[in-house]
Structure 1
């Protein structure tokens, strides 16, 4: 949790690995009369903002901003949170950066309906 003052800009960093399939950024604040926003910067310097197009997902409501980026560029990502309109005493906020690793290949085996490999054995106790 942090406190942001009027016109202040606060930066946050996270590192994305090569095997990351998804990067999520969430900004939440308390006061519905306040206005905060966030812009992300990729490791190569590309700006991702509210006009982002798919496959980037962006959404904002009265107290939340979030981004979801699929197949993000590996390296250091930066988020800049801006206080567009907050009280003079500031606004409490929370930031979450989260990543999801690429799924490993799932190997499946065909298993007989009875759950046993090979021919089922006779169960003497079952036939009593």
Structure 2
């Protein structure tokens, strides 16, 4: 037999042999989404912080058969309901000023504008 045929036959035999799988002897999981993996920066591996962030995205709340949320990881356990009641305190205007106070404020601002040493920051937000 020629050398080419011998090499070809040897390659076929090597392919047909079952390769022994690498066994994890250390007992620590080494998959890409393991939170406790070492933080050794190799070329193509994720850092432990990245793994924790990706795992955080996978968190889902536990729901009943009707679709209501039963429990969530960051849901408050103390309160029975976290719903905000439709109370007027939360939905009324908070920046209410008298007309007299507004006139006084405008007069004071005119005095400050005349001086070159005074600067108003965020002047567009002021009611002038």
TM range (shorter): under 0.3
Q: Normalized per residue, which structure has more strand?
A: 1
TM-score, normalising length from structure 2? 0.23
Q: Which has the higher contact order (CA 8 A, sep 6+)?
A: 1
